[in-house]
């Protein structure tokens, strides 16, 4: 495995060593359970690349 893969995965989580908590930064897809991506353009939205579930963000 390349180093870039390990660095990318570490950016998906927030780690709080004082409390011993590891938390996922992005949302989890309600349909398939995988990690969703946040897109800002052309409209803000959360999108799952696996099952194509999309949530439009409304202000």
Query: How much of the chain is helix, strand and coil, in % rounded to 5?
Result: 15, 30, 55
Q: What is the pLDDT of residue 7?
A: 56
DSSP symbol at 28: B
Q: What is the pLDDT of residue 11?
A: 82
Domain boundaries, the chain: 3-56
Note if the pTM is more than 0.85.
Answer: no
Written as tens digits, the pLDDT of the chain (59 aa) is: 455 555 577 788 899 999 999 999 999 999 999 999 999 999 999 999 999 999 999 97
Q: What is the pLDDT of residue 42?
A: 92
**Distance of alpha carbon 36 from alpha carbon 24, whole angstroms:** 11
């Amino acid at each position: 495995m390349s180093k870039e893969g390990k660095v990318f995965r570490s950016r998906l989580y927030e780690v709080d060593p004082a409390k011993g908590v590891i938390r996922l930064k992005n949302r989890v897809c309600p349909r398939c359970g995988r990690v969703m991506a946040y897109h800002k353009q052309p409209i803000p939205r959360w999108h799952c690349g696996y099952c194509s579930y999309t949530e439009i963000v409304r202000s």
